[in-house]
């Protein structure tokens, strides 16, 4: 299950998991992107798509019910859907803070809560939360709620790792650096911002969605079977 799986990093994760032979359930609240995703993938009965807002609890319940009716079990959940609202901290409205937290933090909890019983039953599961380098350090820039919500997802990841290791369920976070996706298209097209970000990136180029997706593939696979509570920084 990949949330925000129809665009950017999530789309790359969905496609790489599918190429590697997984049945994939792709959730995205953007219907157009989801339709384009469906068209772009050669699928038979190995792809399910759902359009809903991941901060909606009831939609999660319906989705998981259908996935379990179709495939019987859930191996991997990637909480990737995310959003950012940029404003000066002093002008930021509480409702904007709440919106960002609903998607970047509360929805990560909801997704996890909805798959955990099945993973416990199977004695197997990998939960992968796409946080950010801004879940590790603060930033002088304007997305205060984004940075705080990504920090929340990081510690939530470790709490689940500590609680569910005994059930053979792993939980890890990924911390992407500046990656070219539809989310960052606007700011990365400003030459000054792009150059600033390039100057902070040792490899001398910004990330591609696939750079992050291969990290998710590792964390989803049995090759990472002793890896939990970790922070995979890909920047
Ligand atoms: P994107 O905007 O290309 O893709 C995000 C997808 O999530 C979109 O398809 C969107 O429709 C979906 N989505 C957003 N809110 C949703 C909701 N409430 N319910 C269901 N679907 C929802 O963005 P990108 O860059 O691929 O981001 C993916 C993740 O990576 C996000 O969590 C983001 O915060 C994180 N990230 C991205 C970085 C970057 O530089 N692009 C850097 C660090 C972290």
Per residue in 178-233, pLDDT tens? 999 999 999 999 999 999 999 999 999 999 999 999 999 999 999 999 999 999 99
Q: Of 13, 82, 147, 197, which is best to mutate to test ligand 1, by the most ligand atoms within 8 angstroms of its C-beta?
A: 82
CA–centroid distance, 195 to ligand 1, in Å, is: 22
Please give the structure tokens belonging to residue 234.
């890909």
pLDDT band at 117 (very low <50, low <70, confident <90, very high): very high
Query: Considering the entire predicted model, what is its pTM?
Result: 0.98
CA–centroid distance, 230 to ligand 1, in Å, is: 21
Q: Of 5, 181, 213, which is best to mutate to test ligand 1, by the most ligand atoms within 8 angstroms of its C-beta?
A: 181
Which residue has the least CA distance to atom 39 on ligand 1? 179
Residue pLDDT, tens place only, 63-103: 999 999 999 999 999 999 999 998 899 999 999 999 999 99
Q: Give the start-end residues of each E strand in 104-168.
A: 125-130
* 154 vs 42 pLDDT, higher one: 154
CA–CA distance, 62 with 181 (Å, rounded to integer): 29
CA-wise closest residue to 156 among 209, 79, 96, 100? 79
Pocket lining for ligand 1, CB < 6 angstroms: 3-4, 6-10, 27-30, 33, 53-55, 80-83, 103, 130, 132, 176, 178-179, 181-184
Residues tagged active-site: 146
Q: Of 6, 9, 128, which is best to mutate to test ligand 1, by the most ligand atoms within 8 angstroms of its C-beta?
A: 9
Task: Specify the ligand 1 atom closest to the Cα of 30.
Answer: 11
Give 1's DSSP letter: -
Q: How large is the average pLDDT for residues 27-34?
A: 98
Instruction: Please enumerate, as own/partner, the contacts of 217-222 that have beta carbons within 8 Å and a separation of 24 or more.
Output: 217/13, 217/16, 217/17, 217/20, 219/126, 219/128, 219/170, 219/172, 219/174, 220/17, 220/22, 220/75, 220/76, 220/78, 220/126, 220/128
Q: 195-213 in b/e burial notation, b at 16+ Cβ within 10 A?
A: eebeeeeeeeebbebebbb
Please give the structure tokens belonging to residue 23.
């049945």
Number of C-beta neighbours around residue 166 at 10 A: 9
Number of C-beta neighbours around residue 137 at 10 A: 10
Number of C-beta neighbours around residue 39 at 10 A: 7
Average pLDDT along the chain:
97
CA–CA distance, 214 with 81 (Å, rounded to integer): 17
CA–centroid distance, 235 to ligand 1, in Å, is: 16
Please tell me whether residue 55 adopts helix, strand or coil conformation. Answer: coil
């Amino acid at each position: 299950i990949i949330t925000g799986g129809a665009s950017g990093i999530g789309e790359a994760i969905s496609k790489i998991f599918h190429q590697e032979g997984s049945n994939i359930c792709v959730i995205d609240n953007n219907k157009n992107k989801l339709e384009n995703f469906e068209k772009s993938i050669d699928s038979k009965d190995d792809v399910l798509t759902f359009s809903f807002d991941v901060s909606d609890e009831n939609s999660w319940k319906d989705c998981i019910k259908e996935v379990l009716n179709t495939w019987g079990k859930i191996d991997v959940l990637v909480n990737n859907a995310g959003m950012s609202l940029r404003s000066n901290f002093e002008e930021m409205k509480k409702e904007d803070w709440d919106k960002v937290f609903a998607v970047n933090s509360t929805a990560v909890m909801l997704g996890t809560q909805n798959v955990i019983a099945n993973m416990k039953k199977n004695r197997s599961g990998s939960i992968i939360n796409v946080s950010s380098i801004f879940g590790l350090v603060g930033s002088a820039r304007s997305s205060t709620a984004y940075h705080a919500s990504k920090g929340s997802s990081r510690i939530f990841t470790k709490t689940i790792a500590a609680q569910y290791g005994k059930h053979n369920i792993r939980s890890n976070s990924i911390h992407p650096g500046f990656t070219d996706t539809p989310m960052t298209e606007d700011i990365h097209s400003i030459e000054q911002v792009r150059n600033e970000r390039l100057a902070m990136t040792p490899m001398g180029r910004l990330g591609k969605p696939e750079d992050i997706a291969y990290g998710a593939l590792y964390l989803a696979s049995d090759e990472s079977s002793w890896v939990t509570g970790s922070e995979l920084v890909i920047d």
